[in-house]
């Protein structure tokens, strides 16, 4: 049976304290609190720097048993190297501790910058590197850089399938070759809404759908009104419907003015009212 999970992109934001988070809640308990409000959260600190295994272990132990993390891949791969000589940086990313999330490890997000165009050969080589299960990821992690030894995790407790999602922001990706590539490798093409900051794509290419909502009207700060939330509820419901229904992950990234957690709660309430989510 398909599942719909609504969540937020990150949780460690100072303006949220005393607004979304209860007043005087210790910062080291913010994830514990947020994970009781949502069934999934996107880890985005991993985009800015490689995290440590101890952090992933702490995040795992702080969240409920049925919780799912999405993990945003490190920008060194996607924005600095722009997929050049990608094998070792990808190994470093998988060695940084994400396998410590065990059964709570959900989709891995690969986000690319707005000025990066579709290069068929480069993307073909990249997706072939992506491990399809945790055992393959552990084997890849063994090829990490020497400087990571002593601060890495290169084993998994069991074999689990991995899901990958790619977010692109350039019109050149509106290309049948890109779509076919994602479908062939069962990678989700992220549905990324940004109020015209970059092109909007909405094509299902995998057995799950990954949505990122960056703000309506204003990037990262615009809130989603009632009509917009109704539209996103319908989309999520339609993607998850029927025998071929897909799991749906929706993350609100309009965090600048503390809109994300409240918009996520409102969307979740709409789906709960329709019986799509457990109350």
Asked if the model's pLDDT at residue 108 lies above 50, the reply is yes
CB 136 within 8 A of CB 161: no
Residue listed under structure tokens 């490890």: 105
Asked if the model's pLDDT at residue 196 lies above 90, the reply is no
DSSP E strands in 188-261: the ranges are: 188-189, 191-193, 208-213, 247-252
C-alpha span between 128 and 124 (Å, rounded): 6
pLDDT band for 166, please (50, 70, 90 cuts). very high
DSSP E strands in the chain: the ranges are: 4-9, 40-43, 68-72, 105-111, 164-167, 188-189, 191-193, 208-213, 247-252
Residue listed under structure tokens 């709409």: 270
**What pLDDT is stored for residue 4 in this prediction?**
97
DSSP 64: -
User: What's the start-to-end Cα distance of the chain, in Å?
Assistant: 17
Tens-place pLDDT, residues 124-162: 999 999 999 999 999 999 999 999 989 999 999 999 999
Q: Residue 42 — φ and ψ, nearest 5°?
A: -90, 120
pLDDT band for 257, please (50, 70, 90 cuts). confident
**What pLDDT is stored for residue 279 in this prediction?**
40
Query: What are the residue ranges spanned by the domains of the chain?
Result: 4-273
**Cα 192 versus chain centre, distance:** 11
**What pLDDT is stored for residue 277 in this prediction?**
63
C-alpha span between 199 and 172 (Å, rounded): 10
DSSP 161: B
Asked if the model's pLDDT at residue 276 lies above 90, the reply is no
Asked if the model's pLDDT at residue 5 lies above 50, the reply is yes
C-alpha span between 124 and 136 (Å, rounded): 18
**What pLDDT is stored for residue 1 in this prediction?**
73
Asked if the model's pLDDT at residue 244 lies above 90, the reply is no
Please give the CATH topology (third level) of the domain spanning 4-273.
TIM Barrel (3.20.20)
Asked if the model's pLDDT at residue 278 lies above 60, the reply is no
What is the helix (H) or strand (E) element at residue 155, kind and residue range?
none
Residues 250, 253, 259, 262: is their CA dihedral positive or negative? positive
Whole-number average pLDDT of the chain = 95
Q: Which two tokens stand for residue 169?
A: 């922001």
What percentage of the chain carries pLDDT values higher than 90? 92
Asked if the model's pLDDT at residue 229 lies above 70, the reply is yes
Q: Which residues, in sequence order, are bridge partners of residue 213?
A: 193, 252
pTM for the whole structure: 0.96
């Amino acid at each position: 049976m398909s599942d719909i999970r609504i969540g937020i992109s990150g949780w460690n934001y100072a303006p949220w304290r005393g607004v979304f988070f209860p007043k005087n809640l210790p910062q080291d308990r913010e994830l514990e609190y947020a994970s009781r409000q949502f069934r999934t959260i996107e880890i985005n600190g991993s985009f800015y720097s490689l995290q440590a295994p101890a952090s992933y272990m702490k995040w795992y132990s702080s969240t409920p048993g049925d919780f799912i993390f999405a993990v945003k891949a490190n920008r060194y791969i996607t924005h600095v190297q722009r997929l050049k000589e990608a094998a070792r940086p990808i190994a470093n990313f998988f060695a940084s501790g994400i396998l410590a999330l065990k059964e709570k490890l959900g989709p891995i997000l690969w986000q690319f910058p707005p000025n990066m165009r579709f290069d068929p050969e480069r993307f073909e080589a990249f997706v072939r590197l992506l491990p399809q299960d945790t055992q393959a990821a552990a084997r890849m992690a063994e090829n990490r850089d020497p400087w990571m030894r002593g601060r890495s995790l290169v084993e998994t407790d069991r074999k689990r399938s991995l899901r990958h999602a790619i977010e692109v922001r350039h019109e050149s990706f509106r290309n049948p070759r890109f779509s076919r590539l994602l479908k062939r490798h069962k990678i989700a093409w992220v549905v990324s809404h940004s109020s015209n900051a970059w092109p909007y794509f909405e094509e299902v290419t995998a057995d799950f759908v990954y949505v990122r909502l960056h703000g309506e009207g204003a990037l990262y700060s615009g809130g989603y009104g009632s009509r917009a939330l109704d539209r996103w509820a319908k989309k999520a419901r339609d993607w998850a419907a029927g025998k071929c229904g897909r799991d749906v992950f929706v993350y609100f990234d309009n965090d600048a003015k503390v809109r994300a957690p409240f918009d996520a709660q409102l969307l979740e309430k709409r789906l709960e009212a329709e019986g799509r989510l457990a109350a």
